Structure 1
Amino acid sequence: MTDSTVARRSDRTRAAILQAARERFAADGYDRATIRAIAADAGIDPSMVMRYYGSKEGLFAAAAEIDLRLPDLTSVPRAEIGARLVGHFLDLWENATGESLVILLRAATTNEAVRAELQRILATQVAPTLAAACPRPEEVPTRMGLVVTQILGLATTRFVLDLPVVAALDRATIVARLGATVQGYLTEPL
């Protein structure tokens, strides 16, 4: 067997494990999902999961690895930043990235390690992006916290709780109404 054949098999195994982990974490939550169940879903021995990811926490971190692909706000007209951010996050939640975000959000409510991962994502991806829109650098943490209350609130009510009134809102309404709130959090005096 050639090295490239082994590498392809390894890549397929990793992909199967990650897919099974995402589905299992989404269905069962972080605490109830087990390495044994994930391995069974992937059609492999549990020792393979441990070989590739080391622990349940390592597997979760890999399964929930998220790049928010936030837009460069320096070229966005200041009055449009809130709507742009809301639209961007809505797009993320509604595409394939949304599955990982829902898993992360659900698990963060009950697991400290997952909560720390979510906080890391916010600190390393959201805060630097919002810094471009904030009038004062020292206000970035507070403004980010306020923005996140809206973004995660929308995600929780629309994609986790599936609250009918929120789930039924059309994109234009969400972007306009929530965008105005986010805009205020970013640009109004604190």
Structure 2
Amino acid sequence: MNTSAESRRGGVAPSQARKHDAASTRAALTRAAALRFGRYGYNGTSVRDIARDAGVDAALVYRYFGSKEALFEVVSTSTTMFEPLRCLPLEDVAAWVRDVVANAPSEDEVPHPVLCVLRSSSREEAVGRLRDEISEIFSESFAKRLDGPDAELRAELLSAWLLGTTLMRTAIRTPALASVSDSTLLKYLKAGIDPLLKLPDDHERTDCP
């Protein structure tokens, strides 16, 4: 193994050979693929790269996922983090966004889903899939919880706040966002987010549909 070359590519060489059961193998491959696709995009990543980082044989990528493309589909979007918005009381949304931003993994741990898609810009289906998943949670599900005009637009603006803020803090690491205290971050997030969630009479809905 050319460890110096691998270091330049940002790979994670396995420290020692180890046995994997099916679940741990899938998990190791998924994590390795997320990091590789996030850093180098679809065309810049090979099945061998992923398998080597996971410490397993490349044949296991095909065994557990069928193809490189199928594995890319599994890891190229990550919207599970948005699920609480389906039922979270509206008055708690700004604090929840603060917590997501403050506790988001670094780019070295989990590449940001937007960067993962942009670095694979030739994979139009990845862009469409991310759009569909965000639309389902924000434009459809969350928007139904908002009264007043332009509910879909306000819901999508919330997604822009969330994705943009996490991107700037964890991936681009602009100095102010990277160092801001939780209390100050919450103050400004509430100033921008709360008006998007208020009803015309300033009463907020907190029930789940």
In the alignment, the residues of structure 1 paired with residue 109 and residue 79 of structure 2 have an alpha-carbon distance, to the nearest angstrom, of 10
- Output one character per residue of 1:107-151: Cα deviation in whole Å (capped at 9) or x when no partner: 22224222223223212333413432x114x73321122112221
Q: Note the C-alpha offset of 1:59.
A: 1.0
Secondary structure of 1:45's counterpart equals: coil
Structure 2 counterpart of 1:107, from 104, 116, 119: 116
> How far apart are the structure 2 equivalents of 1:15 and 1:85?
27
Alignment of 1:1-190 (within 5 A): 9-63=21-75, 64-68=77-81, 69-71=83-85, 72-73=87-88, 76=89, 80-90=91-101, 93-94=104-105, 99-100=109-110, 102-109=111-118, 110=121, 111-127=123-139, 128-132=141-145, 134-136=146-148, 139-187=150-198
Residue identity (%):
26
Number of residue equivalences: 174
Three-state SS of the structure 1 residue aligned to 2:25 is helix
Equivalent-residue separation in structure 2 for 1:35 and 1:19 (angstroms): 13
Tell me the TM-score normalised to structure 2 length: 0.69
Distance change >3 Å, CA 119–CA 88, structure 1 → 2: farther
Q: CA deviation at 1:172?
A: 1.5
TM-score normalised by the chain length of structure 1: 0.74
CA RMSD of aligned residues (A): 2.9
| Cα pair 2:98 2:189 within 8 Å, conserved | no
Runs of 4+ in 1 over 6 A off after TM superposition: none
Note if contact 1:93-1:99 (Cα within 8 Å) is conserved in structure 2. no
Whose helix fraction is larger, Structure 1's or Structure 2's? 1
Residues 62/31 of structure 1: CA separation in 2 closer, same or farther (3 Å cut): same
- Taking structure 1 as reference, are residues 32 and 188 closer, same or farther at Cα in structure 2, changes over 3 Å only? farther
Q: Which amino acid aligns with 1:129?
A: F
| Secondary structure in structure 2 of the residue aligned to 1:32 | coil
Cα separation, 1, equivalents of 2:152 and 2:109: 27
CA distance in 1, matches of 2:43, 2:176: 30
Whether contact under 8 Å (1:70, 1:126) holds in the other structure is: no
Q: CA deviation at 1:182?
A: 1.3
Per-residue deviation, 1:158: 0.7
